[in-house]
Structure 1
Amino acid sequence: MAGGLLVAVVLWAFTGMPALAIKPNAQRIGGAIIAGIFHPDWSYVYTGDGEDLVSTLLQTVAIAFAGTFISAIVSLPFAFWAARGKHKFWLVSRSGKFLLTAIRTFPEIVLALMFIKAVGPSAFAGVLAVGFHSVGMLAKLFSEAIENLDNGAGEAVTAAGGTHLDTTMLATIPQLLPEFVSNTLYRFELAIRSASILGIVGAGGVGTPLIFAISSRAWSRVGIILLGIVIMVTLVDFISGTVRKRLV
């Protein structure tokens, strides 16, 4: 039954696709793209004018870092709001979870377009887009960590006469800190990938020169930009993964 339903869904999806057609000049264009990618424009790596590959990659990392850092702080109150078992009424946590789900439904590229209208085409729009979307994801992960928390330490603080604030600061936060940092680093890895393409719509970062190079068919420049993105993402993943392994 399940297999037949899956086949039906796949067939239904393909019925809405146009007939596959290859353009006559597809081979020539494909050859030019491959040749450019495998013969990157090394002169673009660093020119000193702030528009080179190194500068735009650093801007991409800065956008991802600032957006993730801001969202990690903003996510904490939302996480406690959405965590089950922290409120007398279940509707409170349900409303928090619904809000976080609503935030995550907005793709970062759409958020970037919206913020560009508000603050103009700039890296700041990219920071806002990454930060807003990250709140939905980080707060969800943080709330799940709070729900799985061992309440023994908190009960001990309460038994010693501690207030609710004492319980949060002396028992809850210290237990959650390693997982908070680990989830934030994981989100930073994802934010690097997102920030790499937000420049396509004018939100700063390496996506801006990438779309210009593609539009002008400067495939050698496309090749060096893609190589830079691969190196940047690989380094960030390695460093972040190493730190997370030490924390968890």
Structure 2
Amino acid sequence: MQTTLSHEFAPRSLWQRWRWLIWVAIIIAIYTWAITGLHFTGLQESAKTVSESIGKGLVHPDWAYVYNGSGEDLSSLTLQTLAIAFLGTIVSAFISVPFAFWAARTLHERWHLRSGSGKVMLTLIRTFPEIVLAIMFIKAVGPGSYAGVLAISIHSIGMLGKLFSESLENMDRGAEEAITSAGGNRTQIFALATIPTIMPEFISYTLYRFEIAVRSASILGMVGAGGIGTPMIFAIQTRNWPRVGIILLGIIVMVLLIDTLSEQLRKKLI
């Protein structure tokens, strides 16, 4: 009883008493440093006129651009954007599986050299942003959808490989132990226990990655990687704000539909 009371009423250290104040001071110092590094140069004289033009264009979009049969309209390029995102995600999902097994830690691995090297590889792959990869692939294979698919595929390998490996590390081993105790071999364990356990989570992560890829594919076109981003950057450069408005509206509708469908599918899987 005396030991418990002495532990409860023991004097706290200086760090325990003033820890919250130290953290507040650190956060304030970081925000102050960040804000003082910004140099506000003011607004240009044409800012009001440009803002009004942008607002009018967004409120009155160019509905004729939705479909005109040219193959370069909003409907055609939206489908192309979805195709880039879908193909890039599917390719990366298959390639990410061996990377995931490479990077996942197991109970029998002593020094984690194998999984450590796999995690480093996935980190290196994720280091390059998609837009940088798109610019590099445009130089290698030329502008167009192919460069966009390659950029999304490579970047998605790093993301999905990391998520898949974490799923393997945290999966329920009960089914594997049951088949092992029944005398099953490694092939049977993998086919009857490992795959059925991790497959729903793998598909869920792939759907989530597809949602992100749709947004990325909409932007990659601005550097020439195909999709809806190409006409959007041209419309911005020429100040065709009604065209920008209808393109943004199309992107919003596309993203909302993909998010809704993907969410419904993930609910059924998990």
Normalising by structure 1, what TM-score?
A: 0.96
Match of 2:257 in 1: 235
CA distance in 2, matches of 1:31, 1:74: 48
Q: Does 1:15 align with 2:36?
A: yes
| Corresponding residue number in structure 1 for 2:7 | none
Contact 1:103–1:136 (Cα < 8 Å) also in 2: yes
Is 1:104 matched up with 2:132?
no
Matched letter for residue 132 of structure 2: V
Question: Could you tell me how far apart the structure 2 residues matched to 1:77 and 1:216 are?
Answer: 46
1:224 aligned counterpart, secondary structure: helix
Match of residue 35, structure 1, among 49, 56, 59? 56
Among residues 113, 119, 122, which one is paired with 2:141 in the alignment?
119
Mapping of 1:1-248 within 5 angstroms?
A: 1-85=22-106, 88=109, 89-248=111-270
The change in CA–CA distance for 1:48 and 1:87 in structure 2 (over 3 A counts) is farther
The SS at the match of 1:84 is coil
Quick one: percent identity of the two aligned structures?
A: 59
How far residue 165 of structure 1 moved from its aligned partner, in angstroms, is 2.6
Q: 1:22 is matched by which residue type in structure 2?
A: L
Structure 1 CA distance for aligned equivalents of residues 173 and 40 of structure 2 = 59
Alpha-carbon offset, residue 86 of structure 1: 6.0
- Checking the alignment, whether the CA contact within 8 Å between 1:80 and 1:86 is kept in structure 2 is no
> Quick one: which amino acid aligns to residue 64 of structure 1?
A
Measure how far apart 1:210 and its partner are. 0.3
Distance, in Å, in 2 between the alignment partners of 1:180 and 1:165 is 20
Deviation at 1:156, TM superposition (A): 2.9
CA shift, 1:98, in A, is 1.4
**Which residues of structure 1 form unaligned runs of 5+?**
none
How many angstroms apart in 2 are the aligned matches of 1:87 and 1:28?
Answer: 67
- Residue 20 of structure 1: how far off its partner (Å): 3.7
CA distance in 2, matches of 1:221, 1:44: 7
* SS of equivalent to 1:176: helix
Inter-partner Cα distance in structure 1 for 2:163 and 2:40: 42
Distance 1:71 1:198 in 2: 17
Q: Secondary structure at the match of 1:138?
A: helix
CA distance in 2, matches of 1:120, 1:159: 56
1: CA distance, partners of 2:90 / 2:55: 38
Deviation at 1:106, TM superposition (A): 1.1
Distance 1:125 1:150, change over 3 A: same
Q: Provide, for residues 142-195 of structure 1, a one-character-per-residue CA deviation record: whole Å limited to 9, x for no partner.
A: 111111112222233334443323221221011111111111000000100000
> CA shift at 1:211, angstroms?
0.2
Measured against aligned partners, the alpha-carbon deviations of 1:30-63 in whole angstroms (never above 9, x if no partner) come to 0000000110000100011110000110000000
Letter in 1 for 2:90: F
| Larger mean Cα displacement after TM superposition, 14-23 or 27-36 | 14-23
Q: Which runs of 5+ in 2 are unaligned?
A: 1-21
